[in-house]
Amino acid sequence: MTGIFISGIMQRFHSANGRIGRGKNRKPYNGSKGRHFGKYLFGIIVVVSILLQMYWVRELQEQIAICKNMEKECSVGEIKTLLREIECFPVREDIHKKEYCYFDNGYGAARTYGGKRSHEGIDIMASNNQAGYFQIQSVSNGVVEQIGWLPLGGYRIGIRSDSGFYYYYAHMDTYAKGMKVGKKVTSGEVLGMMGNTGYGKEGTKGKFAVHLHFGIYRQVKGREKSLNPYYLLEKVA
């Protein structure tokens, strides 16, 4: 009797399309819904694929442009290393969204303080010209190699990256707590605050507008040689 009872239930609820429990008010399965969903999903995949390809093409074009602009200063391999390890802009955005930073290609411009020389970096200026307002952050992982006062650079920090490049941050107002020679830093870690120190004895301020002097140096035959960071900054700005 039990077998007959179960068989009756199965026959009652078994639908013509092989589904169980259709009931009186249940509509027959419509396979077109599945097909429509498949087409919708395929469309999304195609759009995402196109967007990714556009992004990769743009990235490749940017890299080619940077290599072309810097080919006289360093090798393609070195440029690729720089592109890989520079993960952020050296100045953090204003959290209040009121002020901003700007820069142009002033690398190689004439300088006269301390004797005739050329500018070995890029100056990133503050719109409000206020010392201690903008945070300076490390563009890469590395180790603090130099810190303290220089007559030209004022309060500065020099970071040696894992690959051997030396990143130079000058004219700082103050240092972040715990900054010292030998400290390991990570990309995006705050090093201190933007200022206008330098061009005199220790503590000298106000000889020029508030800005960060950012430089990159590499070893060439045992000597540190600067390279133009402008095109690299453009990419992460």
Contact 193, 157 (CB under 8 A): no
Query: Measured between alpha carbons, how far is 24 from 12 in angstroms, rounded to an integer?
Result: 11
Q: What gap in Å lies between CA 176 and CA 92, rounded to an integer?
A: 14
Q: Are residues 29 and 104 in the same domain?
A: no
Which residues are registered as beta bridge partners of 126? 101
Which regions of the chain are under pLDDT 50?
Answer: 1-7, 9-10, 12-23
> What pTM did the predictor assign?
0.76
Domain that holds residue 10: 1-70
Question: For the chain, what is the domain count?
Answer: 2
- Distance, in Å, from the CA atom of 80 to the CA atom of 194, rounded to the nearest integer, reads 28
- Beta-strand runs (E) in 54-112: 101-103, 110-111
Specify if 81 maps to a domain. no
pLDDT (tens digit per residue) in 207-233: 999 999 999 999 888 899 999 999 999
Residues 23 and 131 in one domain: no
